[in-house]
Amino acid sequence: MIDQDADISVAQAETVHDFACSELFDRTFREGMELVEETAAYLDGDGRRDSKLLSRSAALAYAGESMRLTTRLMQVASWLLVQRAVREGDMEAREACLPRYRLGAQAVCQAEPGAHVEDLPADLRDLLDRSERLYDRVLYLDRKMFVDGPVEEAAHPVLSQFGRLQAAFGG
């Protein structure tokens, strides 16, 4: 049952449904889930070993940044799983528009890294960077779907040029 039904437009629900069925969603979902798996493997494996080799201050930075990393990825994964539920018919698009399904934890996920980040293992810094870029892209999509207006997939450059040629030459 949707509590805030009046605040959700039909167009907004259609935008959510269209996005969930798009190639852009497929790529983003695949990238997000692969990054979640890669991060879990690192933190449970090499990351444990790497963290034991750090100075006390760097180990503290490692703990803080790894928590930020997991929070960021949990937010992205949750958002993507809601979109997949819409795609698979397990959730109504109108329900997916509710505020509780929006991308959250922006204060934590987008906060500046703490001190000693440069002392962190290269693998963790790479995961932090990639997760931040993914979070920013999903935040962009979230805002376009729920605040700014519909998301449009970029046109293929060759097809776009072909379309212009056809228009110019009456083809």
Q: Where are the domains of the chain?
A: 5-169
pLDDT of 112: 83
Note the Cα 143 to chain centre separation in Å. Answer: 12
Cα distance between the two ends of the chain: 51
- Alpha-carbon gap, residue 50 to 170, rounded angstroms: 63
Mean pLDDT, the chain, rounded, equals 86
pLDDT band at 1 (very low <50, low <70, confident <90, very high): very low
- Alpha-carbon gap, residue 9 to 38, rounded angstroms: 37
pLDDT of 164: 57
H-type alpha helices, the chain: 10-20, 23-44, 46-52, 56-87, 93-96, 106-109, 122-143, 157-169
Residue 4 has pLDDT above 90, yes or no: no
Mean pLDDT of 142-158: 63
- Give 76-118 pLDDT, tens digit per residue: 999 999 999 999 999 999 999 999 999 988 888 888 877 788 9
- Give 125-140 pLDDT, tens digit per residue: 999 999 999 999 999 9
- Alpha-carbon gap, residue 92 to 108, rounded angstroms: 29
pLDDT of 123: 97
Q: How many alpha carbons lie under 13 Å from residue 140 in its C-beta half-sphere?
A: 12
5-169 has CATH 1.20.990.10 classification: no
- Give 10-24 pLDDT, tens digit per residue: 888 899 999 999 999
Residue 154 has pLDDT above 50, yes or no: no
The values of phi and psi at residue 52, to 5°, are: -75, -15
Residue 124 has pLDDT above 80, yes or no: yes
